[in-house]
Structure 1
Amino acid sequence: MKVTVKDSETLEIVNLNQVRNYLQIHGWNEDKPFLENATLWHKPVAGEEFEILLPNQQNLGDYAARIREIIEILESVENRSQSEILADLITGIPNTTIQGVVMQIHTPNADKLSGEITLVGVIADKLQKIKTELADKDYILAIKAYQERLPFICTGDLIKENQTFTLKNPRNFTLDNLWQN
């Protein structure tokens, strides 16, 4: 099955510097400016020359469309899915809702009812581990979800650092009622 990334809101939050770094790390060469709003990047692969038009600013009206095109080209060149590439490009998604399961409850904090939780949720169409810190009733609900293997829904600011996702400012942690009879 081939997944095509079309969600403009998600594509708009892909950080321009992250795309630039990704291209450099993966052997793309910055060639020349294209008009005033973009630069051309090239990469030869198996005798064929591929070209990417990278915007210079993230606030352009067609930024999401340009990022979509870049992901499509990278999919072809790297023979990887668009969702895998998007997961590599995302560094943060503010105010996002995650649905998933609690994978691990770490040792609770001694001074209050709280602790670190490892979740598994879908990010850019791919299951990912997500670390977060919960307290009070949210922490108790996470323990229940873990023990009974119940899915949850939670909102927060998703940050990716060193290939690890962290959900900052978690709120509205609830058990997913769709799974209950």
Structure 2
Amino acid sequence: MKFTVKDRQTLETIELNQLRNYLQTHGWHQDQPFLDNATLWHKPTTDGEELEILLPNRQNLRDYGARISQAIQTLENAENRPQLEILSELLTRISNTTIQGIVMQIHTPNTKKLSGEITLLGLVVAKLQKIQTSLADKDYILAIKAYQERLPILCSGDLIKDNNAFILTNPHNLTLDELW
């Protein structure tokens, strides 16, 4: 089954430098400017043809999300990989998202305040990932309960990818997953 990524907000969070680096490391080369707002990127295929991606020069363009969607569709065909797999490599930040997961580890708590770091195993763009976060007070207590009883949780915040590690910043609304 093929999934097409069309969520404009998610597509608009893909940073241009991240996509440029991805293209360069996967055999694409920057060719020429297209008007003032974009650049053409090309990659030769095994049958002698050439694939093309129109990459915007700025993220604040009105059609940025649509152009990124087209680029991901082209990459899906060129690499014969699902769009979600490609998207998971390109995303560096997802604001105001809710993570569903299991508390895998409780790190040594702070001695002066009821708080500490935890490691979750949660879904990020349909793929299980380790996610680090810091919790305090009742959220930290609830995370300990979830860890001890192996209950899934839901937690909202801003997800940041830093060197292939995920960090959930501004965590809030931590609850036990009642659907479990």
Shorter-chain-normalised TM-score: which range?
over 0.9
Whole-Å Cα distance in 2 between the matches of residues 76 and 7 of structure 1?
Answer: 19
The corresponding residue for 2:151 is 150
The corresponding residue for 2:118 is 117
Q: Which one-letter code corresponds to 2:75 in the other structure?
A: L
Quote how far apart the aligned CAs of 1:109 are: 2.4
Whole-Å Cα distance in 1 between the matches of residues 102 and 50 of structure 2?
Answer: 43
| 1:60 corresponds to 2:69 | no
Quote how far apart the aligned CAs of 1:78 are: 1.6
Whole-Å Cα distance in 2 between the matches of residues 40 and 75 of structure 1?
Answer: 18
The corresponding residue for 2:140 is 139
Counterparts of residues 22-101 of structure 1 (less than 5 Å):
22-46=22-46, 47-101=48-102
Whole-Å Cα distance in 2 between the matches of residues 163 and 133 of structure 1?
Answer: 18
Q: Which one-letter code corresponds to 2:59 in the other structure?
A: Q
Quote how far apart the aligned CAs of 1:151 are: 1.6
Secondary structure in structure 1 of the residue aligned to 2:179:
helix
- The total of aligned residue pairs comes to 179
Q: Which one-letter code corresponds to 1:155 in the other structure?
A: S
Whole-Å Cα distance in 1 between the matches of residues 163 and 31 of structure 2?
Answer: 29
Quote how far apart the aligned CAs of 1:3 are: 2.3
The corresponding residue for 2:7 is 7
Quote how far apart the aligned CAs of 1:15 are: 1.0
Quote how far apart the aligned CAs of 1:125 are: 2.0
Quote how far apart the aligned CAs of 1:35 are: 1.5
Q: Which one-letter code corresponds to 2:39 in the other structure?
A: T
The corresponding residue for 2:20 is 20
Whole-Å Cα distance in 2 between the matches of residues 123 and 7 of structure 1?
Answer: 15
Secondary structure in structure 2 of the residue aligned to 1:177:
coil
CA-atom RMSD in angstroms: 1.3
Per-residue CA deviation, residues 127-178 of structure 1 (Å, 9 max, x unaligned), is 2111111111111101111122212111111111100000011111111222
5+ long unaligned stretches in structure 1: none
Whole-Å Cα distance in 2 between the matches of residues 33 and 132 of structure 1?
Answer: 41
The TM-score, its normalising length taken from structure 2, stands at 0.93
Quote how far apart the aligned CAs of 1:119 are: 0.8
Whole-Å Cα distance in 1 between the matches of residues 129 and 146 of structure 2?
Answer: 18
Q: Which aligned segments of 4 or more residues in structure 1 are displaced greater than 4 angstroms?
A: none
Quote how far apart the aligned CAs of 1:111 are: 2.6
Per-residue CA deviation, residues 76-95 of structure 1 (Å, 9 max, x unaligned), is 11222111111111111122
Quote how far apart the aligned CAs of 1:33 are: 0.7
